[in-house]
């Protein structure tokens, strides 16, 4: 049975680039979540006034990767301490957030935040219940795979022991 997770960590291009490569991930889509406007466009979200964040919908096989391991990958592929965006992308649409589907997912996220906090990190990632996810325009899907570039605001950092 395939499960779904939703993460926001700045520009969704970089998030998708890294999470697509995680073993057990079946598919990803970029889009918008957490705002007040139905069916927002990139132009609307980019103003920072809709309440949405750029996010990624991850479909994964829980027999190959657990939600906890997937969430670790989310944390390790961006800077979860940045409060106002991600890298050079500044604004409310670029915040770090985990959208949990149930109390179990929320507990996993809280556990991982506690581990990072114990390591001296001041985590800015916010936790919110899953909201309506709106798929982004086609030209945003798998952006880096299509143009041969690599992310400019996402890098990998080993935060957790395996």
**Nearest alpha carbon to residue 95 among 33, 44, 137:** 33
What is the DSSP code string of the chain?
--EEEEEEESSHHHHHHHHTTSTTEEEEEEEEES-SSSS--HHHHTTT-S--EEEEEEEE-TTTS-HHHHHHHHHHTS-TT-SSEETTEESGGG-EEEEESSHHHHHHHHHHHHHHHHTT-----EEEE---EEEPPGGGTTHHHHHS---SS------S--
In whole angstroms, give the CA distance from residue 34 to residue 121. 25
Active site residue 153: no
Q: Which of 11, 30, 55, 98 is catalytic?
A: 11
Give residue 66's Cα distance to chain centre.
Answer: 16
Q: Which residues are catalytic?
A: 11
């Amino acid at each position: 049975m395939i499960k779904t997770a939703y993460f926001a960590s700045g520009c969704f291009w970089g998030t998708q680039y890294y999470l697509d490569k995680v073993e057990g991930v079946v598919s990803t889509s970029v889009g918008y979540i957490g705002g007040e406007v139905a069916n927002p466009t990139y132009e609307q979200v980019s103003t920072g006034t809709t309440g949405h964040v750029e996010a990624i919908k991850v479909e994964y096989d829980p027999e190959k990767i657990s939600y906890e391991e997937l969430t670790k990958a989310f944390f390790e592929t961006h800077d979860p301490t940045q409060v106002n965006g991600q890298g050079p992308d500044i604004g409310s649409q670029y915040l770090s957030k985990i959208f949990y589907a149930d109390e179990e997912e929320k507990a996993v996220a809280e556990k991982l935040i506690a581990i990072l906090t114990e390591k001296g990190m001041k985590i800015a990632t916010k936790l919110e219940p899953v909201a309506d996810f709106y798929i982004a325009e086609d030209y945003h899907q798998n952006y880096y795979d299509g143009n041969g570039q690599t992310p400019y605001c996402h890098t990998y950092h080993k935060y957790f022991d395996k």
